[in-house]
Amino acid sequence: MTVDVHTAIEQLEDELASSHLDSAHLDVINSLAKQIPTHELTRLVSNRPIVQSAVLFRVLKKDEALAVFENLPPSYQADLIQALRGPDVAEIIEGLDPDDRAELFGELPAIVVKSMMKGLSHDERTKTSIVLGYPREAIGRYMSPEVLSLHDDWDARRALEVVRERIHEPETVYLLPVLARGRTLAGVVSLRTLVGASPDTPVTELMREPSSVEAMTDREDAARSFLDQRLIAMPVVDAENRLLGILTMDDVLDIIDEEDAEDAARGSGSEPLDRSYMSSTIMQIVKSRIVWLLVLAVSAVLTVQVLDLYEDRLSQVVALALFIPLLTGTGGNAGNQAATTVTRALAVGEVRVRDLMMVMWREVRVGASLGLVLGSLGFLISGAIYGFQLGSVIGLTLLCICTMAASVGGLMPILAKKVGADPAVFSNPFISTFCDATGLIIYFTIATVNLGLH
Query: Terminus-to-terminus CA distance in the chain, angstroms?
Result: 71
Any idea how long the chain is? 454
Tell me, yes or no, whether 82 lies in a domain. Answer: yes
Tell me, yes or no, whether 272 lies in a domain. Answer: no
Q: What is the pLDDT of residues 158-171, one digit of tens each?
A: 999 999 999 988 88
Asked if 53 contacts 80 with a C-beta cutoff of 8 angstroms, the reply is: yes
Query: Which of the given ranges, 90-104, 289-303, 370-384, has the highest pLDDT on average?
Result: 370-384
- Sign of the torsion formed by the C-alpha atoms of 47, 51, 53 and 56: negative
Tell me, yes or no, whether 273 lies in a domain. Answer: no
Ramachandran area for residue 281 (φ above 0: left; ψ -120 to 50: alpha; else beta):
beta
Say how far apart CA 286 and CA 270 lie, in whole Å: 10
Tell me, yes or no, whether 319 lies in a domain. Answer: yes
Domain span at residue 109 reads: 5-136
CB atoms within 10 A of CB 391: 19
Where helices occur in 84-190 by DSSP H, the ranges are 87-95, 98-105, 110-119, 122-132, 156-166
Asked if 89 contacts 57 with a C-beta cutoff of 8 angstroms, the reply is: no
Query: Which of the given ranges, 79-88, 100-109, 173-182, has the highest pLDDT on average?
Result: 173-182
Number of folded domains in the chain?
A: 3
Q: What residues contact residue 143 under an 8 Å CB cut-off, 6+ apart?
A: 99, 131, 215, 236, 244, 245, 246, 247, 251
Give the CATH number, domain containing residue 238.
3.10.580.10
> Do 103 and 188 reside in the same domain of the chain?
no
The whole-model pTM stands at: 0.70
Tell me, yes or no, whether 195 lies in a domain. Answer: yes
> Do 92 and 173 reside in the same domain of the chain?
no
Give the CATH number, domain containing residue 37.
1.25.60
Say how far apart CA 447 and CA 442 lie, in whole Å: 9
> Do 12 and 97 reside in the same domain of the chain?
yes
Q: What is the pLDDT of residues 176-232, one digit of tens each?
A: 999 998 889 999 999 999 999 999 999 999 999 999 999 999 998 899 999 989 999
> Do 411 and 294 reside in the same domain of the chain?
yes
CB atoms within 10 A of CB 431: 27
> Do 330 and 417 reside in the same domain of the chain?
yes
- Considering only residues 355 and 261, tell me which one the structure prediction assigns the higher pLDDT: 355
Query: Which of the given ranges, 2-16, 148-162, 265-279, 286-300, has the highest pLDDT on average?
Result: 148-162
CB atoms within 10 A of CB 122: 7
Indicate the helix (H) or strand (E) that contains 344: helix 324-347
Strand partners, 237: 214, 243
> Do 394 and 251 reside in the same domain of the chain?
no
